[in-house]
Structure 1
Amino acid sequence: MAQAAPASPVSRTPRTTGPDSGLMADLVGERAAAVLKWAGPVAGGLVYGFWAAAINRDTGPITGWNVLFGFVCAIVFAGAWIGVRAMAPLMRRELHALLWTAFAGIAFGFIHSQSDTSVLRSVLMSLAVSAGVYAMLFYRYYTHEDAAGHRVK
């Protein structure tokens, strides 16, 4: 009677070629995960910059300053996303969720402040979005990581 040989310890450990790349690599492959690692922040930054510039011009003409504002917003957003993505996996799950929450809250608050609303309304809306993001991410990290921050399958 034949028995299956036990798997080696290397095959049971998750791949950790980069922050959160193990899950992405499992879904789309290593090469596509490497492309998506940079394509996500760049595409997100371009959408965010276009959105900020569109809200800022408020149906007025497109000017050079408006285009510059959009590109600066895109660069800052993409840079912050890359920075948060690099720092977050080094932290415990509570701080990991809090860092992404701060990023989402600040990004939403800035976009909301471009419309003609009060600062108080922008802050309150941003806090509401941040609370939802924190609850969602904390639950995800609490159920998918151990206390040391290692991904659990």
Structure 2
Amino acid sequence: MKKLIFPAILAVILLSSFVTSVATTALNNDLEKFYKHMGRNIKYPSTASAKNLQGNTQILFSVNDGKLEGLKIENELGGTCDVEVINQILAFNDYKSLENGKYALKVTFKLEGAKSDLKNLNIETPTDYAPLALTIVGYAGKK
């Protein structure tokens, strides 16, 4: 009997680790598609880089049964940065791959060589929203 207990416990531990790993990987792969789309398609707006505008914008949205809902600018950066993010959220066409839920996407627009202050530094994720984050790097405009 003692010989069976150890292998049984080991099997339970290994199985539970495997299930957790698969669930986490599935969620990460789903978000990976979203992040790849956003990272490849969001461009630093020329109006923002010309003004050396940098900082954070936060966009809230929900996914319900594969459909995008409740898109809202929670923290506006300006310089058409917010519009650029919203356009790419709307252009993403695979919300069926994401879990149902509320998401808060914080996008940091950062300029190499800029000496301007970053706006909206202390953005907090609203309660009940899953935080997502992305950084877009551009080059400072000449002044």
With normalisation by structure 1, the TM-score equals: 0.26
Higher relative contact order at CA 8 Å, sep ≥6: structure 1 or structure 2? 2
- Larger helix share, 1 or 2: 1
- Larger strand share, 1 or 2: 2
With normalisation by structure 2, the TM-score equals: 0.28
